[in-house]
Amino acid sequence: MSNVDATPTTVLFEHPLNEKMRTWLRLEFLLQHIFDSPPLATISNTLPFFRTLSDLLDVLERGEIRTDMLKELERQQQKMRQWEGVPGVDTERVLTVRDELKQCASILMSAPRLGQALREDRLIAAVRQRLSIPGGCCSFDLPSLHIWLHLPQSSRDSQKNEWLVTLLPLHNTLILLLGMVRNSGQFKQQISLNGFFQDNADEGELLRMRIPLEHQLYPQVSGHKTRYAIRFLSLDSEKGVPPNRLSFELACC
């Protein structure tokens, strides 16, 4: 059987249009790395896990993340109520989504302070204190981590799972809310002229762009929730030039 080239033809870029969405996308990025991390078997794959965990706790210290999420869950529930009974609408699906939102809000509201269990963990705290020091996590600096890495793999797996369980209310809420935001906007074909495009955001929170990979371009977005501009830049800053007319797909969510 011949090999099939799985190289994508387009690249998806996302850009937040407000501070709340910027924080949520960063949290999603960190949580994906944490939940997809391999078993903590060696120092080489354990340190990236703890570093990402530390970054997550730093982000959680900023702003009212739980409050913003609860407000958004309530806002989405109100939207679902407005769709109930509307002719042509799948009422069963609307009720299912509303129940998911309600259950998610209940779990998030009753959960302890986000990240608190991880902040209080002695091993995590010890590693976080040394991460900013170059080479500060070697065995003589962190003997507690050194001995932990020599425990049976099953013990380390169990400990890691306990840490991840404390993040599930945040993780599940984020998946649900970002999924609804992304599904709220439809991709439309657009044309940029000489590497530039601008439009009104109509109170949007997130821009999503599908750009052909063949041109090796990436977007530089400026603006806010009412108006934005996109400049397409070449990966090869010295020789690359964006085409005069670039066809790409854009969704404002």
> Can you list the residues of the chain whose pLDDT is less than 50?
1-3
Model pLDDT, residue 128: 94
Model pLDDT, residue 2: 44
The DSSP 8-state label assigned to residue 111 in this structure reads S
CATH architecture for residues 19-184: Orthogonal Bundle (1.10)
pLDDT, one tens digit per residue, over 205-240 is 999 999 999 989 999 999 776 889 999 999 987 777
Model pLDDT, residue 247: 94
Strand partners, 190: 248
213-219: which pairs have CB atoms within 8 A and are 24 or more residues apart?
213/7, 213/8, 213/9, 213/10, 213/11, 214/9, 215/242, 215/243, 215/246, 216/240, 217/242, 217/246, 218/11, 218/13, 219/13, 219/15
Report the length, in residues, of the chain.
253
Residue 120, C-beta contacts closer than 8 angstroms, at least 6 positions apart = none
pLDDT, one tens digit per residue, over 1-36 is 444 556 789 999 999 999 999 999 999 999 999 999
Class of residue 7 by CB neighbours under 10 A (exposed 0-12, middle 13-18, buried 19+)? exposed
Q: Domain coordinates of the chain in residue numbers?
A: 19-184, 188-252
Model pLDDT, residue 204: 87
Chain mean pLDDT for the chain: 91
Model pLDDT, residue 248: 96
- Asked whether the beta carbons of 195 and 230 are under 8 A apart, the reply is no
Task: Provide CATH code, domain 188-252.
Answer: 2.60.440.10
Count CB-CB contacts under 10 A for residue 250. Answer: 20
